[in-house]
Amino acid sequence: MPLALWLNDGQNLFRDEDAFGGASWGAAGTVAHLIAAQRIPPILLLGIDHRGPMRTFDYLSVPPTGWDAPWGQGMRGDMWDAPGGGGGSTGGSAAPS
C-alpha cells in the first residue's frame, strides 16, 4: 500500500485558479521535488476541500463566535466575516445542519 499525505484546504494546494487569493501552495511541485531529491519516499498527495463559507465549522470544535462567547473561547471577532469565517450569508452562529 502506498504512503499518503492528506492535506486540508485542498482547493489551495494545486491550481492557482482554484486557490484562495489566486496562488496555490504548490504542494505537488514541493512533493515532486522532495521525492526526486530522495528526501521522502514516493507518496500519494491528497487534498481535502473545505465547505467554502462554512470552512470554520470544518475546523473548530465549537461554533465560531467572538472571544466573548459564553464558554470563554472562540475565534477572533474580526474574523467572523472573513471568507470561511461562518458569518455573512451563512446567517451568523447557527451551526450547519
What is the pLDDT, as a whole number, of residue 46? Answer: 94
User: What is the full per-residue pLDDT of the chain (97 aa) written as tens digits?
Assistant: 789 999 988 888 999 998 888 899 999 999 999 999 999 999 999 999 877 777 777 777 666 665 555 544 555 555 656 666 655 544 344 444 4
Beta-bridge partner residues of 4? 44
Assessment of whether the complete model's pTM goes beyond 0.75: no
HEC string of the chain equals CCEEEEEECHHHCCCHHHCHHHCCCCHHHHHHHHHHCCCCCCEEEEEECCCHHHHHHHHCCCCCCCCCCCCCCCCCHHHCCCCCCCCHHHCCCCCCC
What is the pLDDT, as a whole number, of residue 24? Answer: 92
The C-alpha atoms of residue 86 and residue 81 are separated, in whole angstroms, by: 7
What is the pLDDT, as a whole number, of residue 7? Answer: 92
